Structure 1
Amino acid sequence: MTFRKALIVLAGIVFAMPVLAQMHNDEVALPDGYRDGVHYTTFRRGGITEEIYTSAEAVAAARAGRPFAEGTVITMDDFRGGKLTRILVMEKRAEWADRSASGSWMYREFAPDGTPNAAEDGKRCESCHASEAANDYVFTRDRMMD
């Protein structure tokens, strides 16, 4: 292979990476009006504030000690220094059980304007949430009890 061909192949791989990364979680959408749901907790750590929302049905499942239902969505607004920097979404679908390291949950990051971050495929979120199997992979399940 000539140097020129190798360079073209390498450039194709580099430009395809964001697209390939997005393929893993491109079905997770940012729900319209998610802030109209239940705001069930706020975390503050230094200059970081996280506002977390879900549905009344998800809160009821947590309080009843049941797993979250198919289609449950949990959304987090991530503020840094008082400014919204990203929106994180986790969604549960049974069809994703064989694709996710954290049960049937998939994760996606969005910019403050709602556009998907193609550079993030949700794998980091999956790997961390995998440690919460006893809580249906949700770190803040206990916060829904209040």
Structure 2
Amino acid sequence: MKVYPVAALFIGLTMSTPLLAQSAASDHVALPPDYKSGIHFSTFKRGGITEELFTAQEAIDAANAGEPFPEGTVVTMEDFREGSLYRILVMEKRAEWESQSLPGGWRFGVYWPDGQPNLSEDLQRCESCHASAEDRDFVFRHGDMLDD
């Protein structure tokens, strides 16, 4: 069996970067099953809400280099209410989404704690809110990724 360099590179990247998008053929934002194996880069508390944010090392590196997040970046946020996991929010960046979503090519997904899609969420609300973070490639907690 021949192994082609491009295939080997793809396999290597998908195995080494669990929080970069791995389902390019899909049009929806999937919940990465292994998102907690990425980098936990922020804990944000306000009132009874605690948000825990995760991403891949490549996203952290891009933020520190002052570059836009790379194609396939996924940021996952656990939303805790009064100490219990309420929902999981995911944003993913793909170039093919540039003309259909935020200028940065981001889309959003919301999941229940059991991993099932939360179809009652209005994802346009996510887009309109994140539009105000354009100077941070649409990621509010971008600054939390930066080295001190």
Q: Same fold (TM over 0.5)?
A: yes
- Aligned residue number for residue 21 of structure 2: none
Unpaired segments ≥5 residues, structure 2: 1-25
Q: Flag the structure with larger Rg.
A: 1
Alpha carbons 1:107, 1:121 under 8 Å: kept: no
- Aligned residue number for residue 14 of structure 1: none
- Aligned residue number for residue 32 of structure 1: 33
Please state which structure has a larger fraction of its residues in helix: 1
Change in CA separation of 1:26 and 1:114 when aligned onto 2, cut-off 3 Å: farther
**Structure 1 residue 68, shift from structure 2 partner:** 0.3
**Structure 1 residue 26, shift from structure 2 partner:** 5.7
Rounded Cα–Cα distance in structure 2 between residues aligned with 1:102 and 1:74: 17
User: Per chain length, whose mean CA-contact separation is higher, i.e. which structure has more relative contact order (CA < 8 Å, sep 6+)?
Assistant: 1
Rounded Cα–Cα distance in structure 2 between residues aligned with 1:96 and 1:111: 24
Question: One-letter code of the match for 2:129?
Answer: C
Q: Does 1:143 align with 2:144?
A: yes
**Structure 1 residue 142, shift from structure 2 partner:** 0.6
Larger mean CA deviation between 130-139 and 117-126 belongs to: 117-126
Alpha carbons 1:108, 1:121 under 8 Å: kept: no
Report Cα offsets for 1:111-140 as digits up to 9, x if no partner. Answer: 000000112241111001111111111111
Structure 2 counterparts to residues 40-55 of structure 1, below 5 A: 40-55=41-56
Rounded Cα–Cα distance in structure 2 between residues aligned with 1:124 and 1:93: 19
Alpha carbons 1:30, 1:114 under 8 Å: kept: yes
Larger mean CA deviation between 127-136 and 94-103 belongs to: 94-103
Paired residue secondary structure (1:128): helix
Number of residue pairs aligned between Structure 1 and Structure 2 = 122
- Aligned residue number for residue 111 of structure 1: 112
- Give the TM-score taking structure 2 as reference length: 0.79
